[in-house]
Structure 1
Amino acid sequence: MNMLQLGRTGIEVSDWCLGTMTYSRQTDQDDAFRQMDMALEAGINFFDVAEMYPVNPVLKETMGDSEKVLGNWFTKSGRRSDVVVASKICGDSGFRPGGYNGKSFEEALDVTLSRLQTDYIDLFQLHWPNRGSYHFRQNWGFDPSKQDAAKVEANMIETLEAADRAVKAGKMRALGLSNESAWGTMKWVTLAEKHGLPRMASIQNEYSLLCRLFDTDMSEVSLHEDVTLLSYSPLAAGLLTGKYQNGAVPEGSRLSLNGDLGGRKTDRAFAATQAYLDLATKHGIDPVHMAMAWQRRRPFPISAIFGATSAEQLAHLLAGDQVSLSDEVMKEIDAIHRQHPMPY
């Protein structure tokens, strides 16, 4: 497994990260424990969770259950110190009305630490901006005209000050973003530097062969400002495995539970997926391994967050750790991207 630095923090993480959003629902605790053991054995030291997990569906009454599974494993295994663990606080939503501010940030952090059965977290992330986000297919109608920049900035400073208190208290090591824009990321970075507050170390945005919004403005910010991309859904919610082609809906899969893969299920997505599947077949590469190896060839640092419903799925993914893509394959991937841009 390759290693990289998380922003400018000095924290070393693997360039693959174990996502845990199915833990306690689609993935029971015993299987989750096996997955975490397997990940560490494979050299993955980075686990990601969130206060709103598990998903499929997200329910207020089950919020935090995935964090509890990780906490139980930390206690049973005694391996907390071997893991860089990241979690997230919700933005403004029905799950956290009003989103995060100084008070709710500190309260949420304390609850997360309790669920994780630890006295510190390595990376605490803002799951999405309080002002809203263009992610999760909201880019098609995104309208920032009603945002109040002064209020946004005041909230950012208040949140950064809360993070600073948490860092000084030893409760967290680093702060990160998720589902953010280039403008938002730069505001966070600039305000942190201006006021001597914790600097954003990372940004967790969707990024895959089928979703490449990050390639332009955000990649430039990420590279030059050392805000490491933690790419979620590198397999496009399972589309890139090929398991949903030709109308297939495997029992227990995400598609069987939520119906549209968070807006990713479109005719164009299936056509684009088939082009990538055909390319993988042409070169004798497993499509899962090709999708993950592609992340390692991007011109900016990435730790790709993948989820596995079962230990068997995880074993299949880990078998591709040594796969690398030739320049020829990369050129053919770019050609497919031009033919099938933004398929959902």
Structure 2
Amino acid sequence: MKKNNLGKTDIMVSEICLGTMTWGQQNSEKEAHDQLSFAIERGINFIDTAEMYSVPPKEETYGLTEKYIGTWLKNQDRSKIILATKIAGRTSNVPSGPPGLDWIRKGPRLNEEHIFEAIENSLKRLNTEYIDLYQIHWPERPVNSFGQLGYIHNPREDDIKIEVTLEALSKAVQKGLIKYIGLSNETPWGVMKFIEAAKEFSLPRVVSIQNPYSLLNRSFEAGLSEIAINEEVGLLPYSPLAGGVLSGKYLNGKKPENARMTLFERMRTRYTNQHAENAVLEYQKIALKYDLNLTQMAINFVTKQNFVTSNIIGATSIDQLEENIDSINCELNEEVIKEIEKVHKIYTYPCP
């Protein structure tokens, strides 16, 4: 499997990253271990998780995903694994994002006290002495993430400044607790402010950004793709299948048994609407015309973008995982790309 540099670092990560957010609700500990071992066998060396996982977030499942990884990791060669996790941020700033999270440090924030407590707890759950990539799950300030449209400027006096957060993370780097810093669900303005703060205050530079990107949500291209390339802050795209919608399994109102959007109705609102369904039907026609697997076509389109460092895929079964990994062998020729672009012009960003 091809590997890419993680930002300006010398760390090489596989072009496919194993996502883990279903472990602890849709997947058992054994199933998580089976997926991890299978992914490693197939050449994946990059694992992404978060303190908040599993998803949807609940107090009783908080930290379970990291624990499952930790019980597997203790029997592995740690030096061969690139491990990424995330710190949860303030929740009142993203109305469409995770609810409450008061069970996480009585309401998570991005100051030094919260950051060090979060890191120490993640290290314990993960059974490791260091985290390769530590990411801010979403910004401290109000932003339009998680499918929210529009932007309301609402600065607050108690918002923690970017340089304060970065200074705390810098201390964690100096202590050897984390190696590199990444962002998630961030805006072009936010990414550049982190880059500016690193330069102005001689602090570590962010190396990656984890945002949604798929055939149903290409908004990253509008402003962030230029930053990702020119500043070498590569994208780690999540939801390349738009929550599974791009597999086609939810077409015509279908609700497959044990599928994510069947189990968790709240998640349907972000990824299912008539424009999205129409777009998926058109992409399905392209896949059929060129004898391609729709799922693999959708994933490969994301993986091959020049601003993408590693494409985060998730699965609830080994069969799904194998299909997703095999997307690296799905070749999209010039004609396929042209037809994809035609559909995109008609159905632009149906699932922001």
Partner of 1:99: 109
1:140-219 paired onto structure 2 within 5 Å: 140-143=149-152, 145-147=153-155, 155-219=161-225
List gaps (5 residues or longer) in structure 2: 92-99
Partner of 2:86: 88
Give the distance between the partners of 2:115 and 2:190, measured in 1 at CA. 18
Give the distance between the partners of 2:300 and 2:38, measured in 1 at CA. 19
List gaps (5 residues or longer) in structure 1: none
Identity level (%)? 41
Partner of 2:64: 65
Give the distance between the partners of 1:240 and 1:186, measured in 2 at CA. 31
Note if 1:305 corresponds to 2:275: no
Give the distance between the partners of 1:254 and 1:79, measured in 2 at CA. 32
Amino acid at match of 1:136: F
After TM superposition, the structure 1 stretch with the greater mean CA deviation from structure 2, 211-220 or 97-106, is 97-106
Partners of 1:48 and 1:87 within 8 A in 2: yes
Q: Deviations over 1:261-304 (max 9, x none)?
A: 35111111111111111110110000111011112332323311
1:1-344 paired onto structure 2 within 5 Å: 1-55=1-55, 57-75=56-74, 77-93=75-91, 94-95=100-101, 96=104, 97=107, 99-138=109-148, 140-143=149-152, 145-147=153-155, 155-259=161-265, 260-261=267-268, 263-344=270-351
Q: Deviations over 1:194-229 (max 9, x none)?
A: 111111110000000000110121101111111110
Measured on the aligned residues, the alpha-carbon RMSD in Å equals 1.4
Give the distance between the partners of 1:61 and 1:100, measured in 2 at CA. 23
Give the distance between the partners of 1:309 and 1:323, measured in 2 at CA. 21
**Matched residue of 1:47: which SS?**
strand
Give, in angstroms, the shift of residue 310 of structure 1. Answer: 1.1
Give the distance between the partners of 1:302 and 1:180, measured in 2 at CA. 16
Amino acid at match of 1:271: N
Give the distance between the partners of 2:33 and 2:213, measured in 1 at CA. 27
After TM superposition, the structure 1 stretch with the greater mean CA deviation from structure 2, 107-116 or 321-330, is 321-330
Alpha-carbon spacing, 1:318–1:299, altered in 2? closer, same or farther (3 Å) = closer
Give the distance between the partners of 1:282 and 1:65, measured in 2 at CA. 42
Partners of 2:88 and 2:108 within 8 A in 1: no
Q: Deviations over 1:282-330 (max 9, x none)?
A: 1000011101111233232331111101112112222332222111111
Partner of 2:94: none
Give the distance between the partners of 2:47 and 2:323, measured in 1 at CA. 18
Partners of 1:4 and 1:301 within 8 A in 2: no
Amino acid at match of 1:31: E
Amino acid at match of 1:59: K
Give the distance between the partners of 1:237 and 1:28, measured in 2 at CA. 20
Give the distance between the partners of 1:58 and 1:98, measured in 2 at CA. 13
After TM superposition, the structure 1 stretch with the greater mean CA deviation from structure 2, 1-10 or 206-215, is 1-10
Partners of 2:6 and 2:309 within 8 A in 1: no
Q: Deviations over 1:167-194 (max 9, x none)?
A: 1111111000000000000000110111
